[in-house]
Amino acid sequence: MTFKEKYGDWAIVTGASSGLGVEYAKQLAGRGLNVVLVARRAELLEKLADEIKTTNNIEVKVVPLDLSKQGFIDELKTQVEGLNIGLIVNNAGINCEGDFYRGDLRRNLNMLHLNVEAPFIIAYEFGKKLVERGHGGIIFTASSSAFQATPYLSHYGATKSYILSLAESMNYEFGTKGVDVIALCPGFTESEMTKGLKGSPLLMKAAPVVQTGIDNLGKKAFVVAGIGNKVQTFMTQRVLGRDLSRVVTGSLMGRVFNRANKKKK
């Protein structure tokens, strides 16, 4: 089966108004898939839709939707009714950085809904349909922070550990049903989320990050983007162990976010 036969006719990409989501949409359109673009900012989605429709001769559906709101799934299912969905990209996400105890509770709860609840509900509802169809795929955007404790990104890292674990288990179960599941684990990547780190050598471009995820769909249960992040993950997983990883990561994150905060002022 070609990529288009296996994962077409349509892919749903959440968080498609900026950063990695824009790149997923472009690359999937480039592989001939029609794309459903989901995020809150309709005008950005419309602009992207115009661009990828004309460049790739595909169809695009724009679905402005807040995925952190209760009941969003009914709206999403209604909007895509009748479309032959073959690929889900569970990508939308926000972060909460800095001292855990100073974080805003409402934003943290919103992150929990968006980063954990929404991708779970989407994977549950559309996963059933993909299994019935007998072929298709689900890509989750996790993070390199999923592999170890991440002080100063504590709750965000925990949401991504959930996603990584879910994706790995689903990969095993769905593998026997013809449905490929993968977690893409980026490190720091250029996007709106990392605008405070602009110019930092730590940042990867979104295009190679997303390509790593798409290229490894059907091959791996998870993939870390970029050689630097791969080395870091190898070190935390295989060399340092959980206790030392927590200390080293905490020290690094403390420095990264202090620097980012200073730049913002």
Ligand X SMILES: NC(=O)c1ccc[n+]([C@@H]2O[C@H](COP(=O)([O-])OP(=O)(O)OC[C@H]3O[C@@H](n4cnc5c(N)ncnc54)[C@H](OP(=O)(O)O)[C@@H]3O)[C@@H](O)[C@H]2O)c1
Q: Could you tell me the smallest distance in angstroms from the CB atom of residue 2 to ligand X?
A: 27
17 binds ligand X (CB under 6 A): yes
Work out the number of other CB atoms within 10 angstroms of the CB of residue 147.
24
94 binds ligand X (CB under 6 A): yes
In the bound state with ligand X, the residue whose beta carbon lies nearer, of 94 and 131, is: 94
- Rounded CA separation 118/14 (Å): 10
Binding to ligand X (CB under 6 A): which residues in 99-138? 114
249 binds ligand X (CB under 6 A): no
Identify the three-state secondary structure at position 160.
helix
- Rounded CA separation 14/80 (Å): 13
Q: Which of 27, 34, 143, 148 forms a contact with ligand X (CB under 6 A)?
A: 143
Q: Which of 12, 13, 20, 48 forms a contact with ligand X (CB under 6 A)?
A: 20
Contact 40, 14 (CB under 8 A): no
- Contacts of residue 235, defined as CB under 8 A and 6 or more positions apart, other chains included, come to 245
- Contacts of residue 8, defined as CB under 8 A and 6 or more positions apart, other chains included, come to 32, 33, 34, 84, 86, 87
Q: Which stretch binds ligand X (CB under 6 A): 64-72, 80-88, 100-108, 229-237?
A: 64-72
168 binds ligand X (CB under 6 A): no
Q: Which stretch binds ligand X (CB under 6 A): 26-34, 46-54, 190-198, 256-264?
A: 190-198
Helix (H) or strand (E) holding 15: none
Residues constituting the chain: 265
211 binds ligand X (CB under 6 A): no
Q: Which stretch binds ligand X (CB under 6 A): 48-56, 60-68, 168-176, 250-258?
A: 60-68
Torsion angles phi and psi, residue 71, rounded to 5: 85, 5
Residues of this chain that interact with ligand X (CB under 6 A) are: 15-21, 39-41, 66-68, 91-95, 114, 141, 143, 186, 188-189, 191-194
